[in-house]
Amino acid sequence: TLAGKRAIVTGSTSGIGLGIARSLAEAGAEVILNSFSDSTEDHALATDLATEFGVTVRYIQADMSKGDAARALVEKAGGCDILVNNAGIQHVARIEEFPTEKWDAIIAINLSSAFHTTAAALPGMVKKGWGRVINISSAHGLTASPYKSAYIAAKHGVIGLTKTTALEMAGKGVTANAICPGYVLTPIVEKQIPDQMKTHDMDRETVIKEVMLSRQPSGEFATVEQMGGTAVFLASDAAAQITGTTISVDGGWTAM
């Protein structure tokens, strides 16, 4: 059980972040939800989760593209025992045409925000002699595909940051690991299906099998619940000596 532990999950109003937040709450942790928006729905989501799992859940707005805001998130939360760096965006274009502002935004949100939140969270973890940093990288943190230069650079960078965090925290009760998901059917992926159906003149099932899951040998999407379960495992005592490494949840993608 994670009762008595406070978890921050960045970018957790949808998809994998929300799935991980739900699993941590189910395991008994206090949870801080986050995104860049500050809507009624965001705060209602926190209330709903708190009711469902009987734990404290707060929503704290912070834009992960800004280093100061990322650090302030940790301060406003009052520190944390479990830090899940999940916020991420994507842009697809060839390098010669990749917009500089998209490159900068992806590096800031997908990589630098994890540096800032980690820097802000570590002193409190070291003081308690217990902490878990869980970074959401990707199969694209270990392999590449064309047209995703910024995302792939950032996700590889996240693994480097994870290893360095692990070494600096070794022997202090604080671990750092990266989860590397393959394709997960989150809203952002779901939204791409109709376009792909048109572009390829395929039905939904064919697009999923032949376009989206062509690199995922299992032929199935991974789920947000599986990401949540992996995060809960990494936060458990069983994982106390797992540090500085990656766990792929990708249906065999990176085995090929």
Question: Which residues are designated catalytic?
Answer: 151
Separation between Cα atoms, residue 186 and residue 11, nearest integer Å: 13
Backbone conformation region of residue 134, classed left if phi is above 0, alpha if psi is from -120 to 50, else beta: beta
Which residue lies nearer to ligand NAD by CB, 137 or 243? Answer: 137
Separation between Cα atoms, residue 30 and residue 16, nearest integer Å: 18
Place of tokens 């995922």: 216
Q: How far is the CB of 165 from ligand NAD (least distance, A)?
A: 17
Coil vs helix vs strand at 64? coil
Q: Which of 29, 27, 252, 37 is nearest to 14 (CA)?
A: 37
Q: How far is the CB of 61 from ligand NAD (least distance, A)?
A: 8
Q: What is the DSSP string of 173-198?
A: TEEEEEEEE--B--HHHHTHHHHHHH
Give the containing element (helix H, strand E) for 58: strand 57-59
Which residue lies nearer to ligand NAD by CB, 72 or 189? Answer: 189
Q: Which residues, at least 6 apart from 140, have a Cβ–Cβ distance to it below 8 Å?
A: 148, 151, 152, 155
Q: Which residues bind ligand NAD (CB under 6 A)?
A: 11-17, 34-36, 63-65, 86-89, 109-110, 136, 138, 181, 183-184, 186-189
Which residue lies nearer to ligand NAD by CB, 35 or 175? Answer: 35
First to last CA, the chain: 36
Report how far Cα 185 is from the mean position of its chain's Cα atoms. 14
Q: How far is the CB of 31 from ligand NAD (least distance, A)?
A: 14
Separation between Cα atoms, residue 203 and residue 186, nearest integer Å: 19
Q: How far is the CB of 83 from ligand NAD (least distance, A)?
A: 14
User: Which residues pair with residue 181 across a beta bridge?
Assistant: 249
Q: How far is the CB of 88 from ligand NAD (least distance, A)?
A: 2
